[in-house]
């Protein structure tokens, strides 16, 4: 498996679906017979993982939208966790 | 549990997150351990397409998000694709449970197009078919073909096998077969004793020795294949001392709709006496879920009897399964007798002991000077 770098383009993993749930007032990730409710920062990152944007794009976009510098490490840490859980994958 | 949580019944419960549509009781197979009711209603009473679509829309509006499509064999319905398409459009995550009988490439391609998210191929055949399976004859070929199709359409290949006394000794062969079929996940689920399985319990319940052997084989196999094939093993609750937190509490997250439109807090709950379950033909999903007496009855803890009522574990297991309590003790409000705190626990241990005695009859019993042949069971 490709390792995570600023140039990778992560996308929501096969079998998972990300969507807004108004009943939960949150973004959720759906998978076979289950659901995770996402907190706002997890949702902000995952909704940007469309398989086209690079990790670097995602980080700079988040820093711009939320007017915060130095989000890189936190975003990378979350992406690593999400990859491990299969929430994200790299598309060829 | 805090005073606040104890008032839960008077507060509005959460939405029915998990909706199960049992589209039909019709099935080309005849499983001895089927949990479907034994007095199943006739085909003519099945909901039509428009009624199922309305159920989907109403449940989704309340916040339902996971959709299970099962039966019977859901592929028997020729509107399955239309139902999946509407569910997908509404934002459901769609899970199909099928025996694979009737799953042609054409059908699968249409289901994929319609947005089907997940497929579980269940192996739920009767004994002759199980022999087929173990001896690689036509059932195996059918399942393998379907398995290959499932992979071709980029679904994870999930195989579900129901275990009972007659096949539990073949866990190793079953797993080897699953591996040859290219399965990525196998669920070995022990039979739950409701419906047909309840009637056949004496023939189906394995002995503890069988169960232990099966677990050992499963572990050996698991060590061999590693993460290539993930194995889930569901122990039959008759061998436990604490019940399962059935449905996470009735009326909390799960809503099942039977083929004739009857709404149930658990697919087996139709047997529970004294409750009249509402029908989607007569009431909206919203009023069924929030207002009907049947759905409110087992919410909260008011209904509980001792020992559950004062038990510190009641918020973890909700007193176990209502259906099991009813079937074994005659009162659905009793503790699930799987629990060793239940005064009826001996009913479960006795069934297990009887199963052990019967299971040794797999070989004919031979007494010196006098031959006694036990039925094959
Ligand atoms: S007594 Fe009732 S609540 Fe307590 S562990 Fe047993 S079944 Fe659960
Ligand atoms: S009430 Fe019993 S039969 Fe129904 S889901 Fe719960 S455990 Fe299963």
pLDDT tens digits, residue range B157-213?
A: 888 888 888 788 888 888 888 888 888 898 888 777 766 566 667 667 788 888 889
Average pLDDT over residues B81-99: 95
Task: Give the CA distances from residue B205 to residues B175, B238, B355, in Å, rounded to whole numbers and listed in that order.
Answer: 20, 9, 6
B170, B304 Cβ separation under 8 angstroms? no
Domains and CATH numbers, chain A: 12-85 (1.10.10.1150)
- For B99-116, the pLDDT digits (tens) are 888 899 999 999 999 999
ipTM of the complex, rounded to two decimals: 0.84
Q: What is the pTM of this model?
A: 0.83
Average pLDDT over residues A24-38: 90
Q: Look at residue B23 in the predicted model and tell me its pLDDT.
A: 93
Is the C-beta atom of B311 inside 6 A of ligand 1?
A: yes
Burial class (CB in 10 A: 0-12, 13-18, 19+), B31: buried
Q: Which of B250, B247, B248, B219 is nearest to B233 (CA)?
A: B219
- Chain B CB contacts of A30 under 8 Å are 65-66, 93, 117
- Nearest chain A residue (CA) to B154: A14
- For B337-348, the pLDDT digits (tens) are 989 899 999 888
Task: Give the CA distances from residue B75 to residues B84, B108, B195, B245, in Å, rounded to whole numbers and listed in that order.
Answer: 12, 10, 22, 31
SS3 B159: strand
Secondary element (H or E) of residue A30 = strand A26-31
Of B149 and B42, the structure prediction assigns the larger pLDDT to B149
- Please provide residue B95's backbone torsions phi and psi, each rounded to the nearest 5 degrees: -120, 125
Q: Which pair of tokens denotes residue A75?
A: 């975003």
- Please provide residue A35's backbone torsions phi and psi, each rounded to the nearest 5 degrees: -155, 135
Burial B188-203 (b: 16+ CB within 10 A, else e): bbbbbbbbbbbebbeb
Chain B contact present for A36, CB below 8 A: no
Interface of B to A at Cβ within 8 Å reads 15, 17-18, 62-63, 65-66, 68, 91, 93, 95, 117-118, 120, 154-156, 158
Burial A20-48 (b: 16+ CB within 10 A, else e): ebeebeebbbbbbeebeebeeebbbbbeb
- Give the residue whose CA is nearest to atom 2 of ligand 2: B321
Chain B contact present for A50, CB below 8 A: no
Is the C-beta atom of B340 inside 6 A of ligand 1?
A: no
SS3 B309: coil
- For B60-76, the pLDDT digits (tens) are 999 999 999 998 789 98
Of B42 and B357, the structure prediction assigns the larger pLDDT to B357
- For B233-262, the pLDDT digits (tens) are 887 888 888 888 878 888 889 999 999 999
Subunit contact B158:A32, Cβ cutoff 8 A: yes
- Give the residue whose CA is nearest to atom 3 of ligand 2: B268
Of B228 and A52, the structure prediction assigns the larger pLDDT to A52
Report the largest interatomic distance among the alpha carbons of chain A, rounded to a whole angstrom: 38
| Closest ligand by atom to B192 CA | 2
B132 C-alpha to ligand 2 centroid (Å): 31
Secondary element (H or E) of residue A39 = none
Residues 6+ apart with CB under 8 A from B130: B166, B167, B170
What is the interface size between A and B, counted as CB pairs within 8 Å? 41
Where does ligand 2 bind, in terms of residues with CB under 6 Å? B 194, 246-247, 266, 268-269, 321-324
Q: How many CB atoms lie within 10 A of CB B217?
A: 18
């Amino acid at each position: 498996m490709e390792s995570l770098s600023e140039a990778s383009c992560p996308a929501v993993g096969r079998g998972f679906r990300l969507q807004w749930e108004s009943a939960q007032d949150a973004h959720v990730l759906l998978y076979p017979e289950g659901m995770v409710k996402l907190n706002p920062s997890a949702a902000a990152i995952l909704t940007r993982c469309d398989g086209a944007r690079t990790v670097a794009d995602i980080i700079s976009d988040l820093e711009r939208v939320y007017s915060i510098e130095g989000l890189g490490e936190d975003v990378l840490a979350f992406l690593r966790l999400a990859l491990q859980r299969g929430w994200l994958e790299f598309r060829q | 549990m805090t005073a606040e949580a104890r008032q839960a019944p008077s507060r509005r419960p959460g939405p029915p997150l998990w909706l199960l549509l049992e589209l039909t009781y019709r099935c080309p197979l005849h499983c001895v351990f089927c949990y479907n009711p034994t007095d199943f209603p006739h085909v003519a009473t099945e909901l039509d397409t428009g009624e199922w679509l309305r159920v989907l829309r109403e449940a989704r509006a309340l916040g339902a998000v996971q959709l299970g499509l099962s039966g019977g064999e859901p592929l028997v319905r020729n509107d399955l694709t239309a139902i999946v398409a509407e569910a997908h459009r509404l934002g459901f995550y769609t899970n199909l449970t099928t025996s694979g009988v009737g799953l042609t490439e054409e059908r699968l391609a249409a289901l994929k197009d319609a947005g089907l998210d997940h497929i579980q191929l269940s192996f739920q055949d009767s004994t002759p078919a199980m022999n087929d399976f173990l001896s690689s004859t036509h059932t195996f070929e059918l399942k393998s073909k379907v398995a290959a199709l499932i992979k071709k359409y980029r679904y994870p290949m999930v195989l579900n096998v129901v275990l009972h006394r007659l096949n539990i000794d073949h866990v190793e062969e079953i797993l080897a077969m699953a591996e040859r079929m290219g399965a990525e996940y196998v669920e070995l689920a022990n039979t739950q004793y409701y419906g047909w399985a309840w009637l056949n319990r004496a023939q189906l319940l394995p002995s503890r020795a069988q169960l232990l052997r099966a677990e050992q084989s499963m572990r050996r196999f698991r060590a061999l294949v590693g993460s290539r094939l993930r194995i889930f093993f569901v122990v039959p609750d008759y061998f436990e001392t604490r019940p399962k937190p059935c449905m996470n509490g009735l009326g909390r997250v799960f809503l099942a709709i039977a083929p004739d439109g009857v709404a149930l807090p658990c697919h087996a709950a139709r047997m529970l006496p004294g409750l009249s379950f509402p029908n989607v033909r007569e009431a909206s999903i919203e009023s069924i879920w929030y207002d009907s007496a049947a759905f409110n009855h087992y919410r909260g803890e008011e209904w509980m009897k001792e020992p559950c009522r004062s038990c510190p574990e009641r918020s973890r297991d909700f007193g176990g399964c209502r259906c099991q309590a009813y079937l074994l003790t005659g009162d659905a409000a009793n503790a699930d007798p799987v629990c060793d705190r239940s005064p009826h626990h001996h009913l479960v241990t006795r069934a297990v002991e009887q199963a052990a005695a019967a299971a040794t009859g797999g070989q004919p019993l031979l007494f010196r000077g006098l031959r006694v042949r036990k039925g094959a069971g």
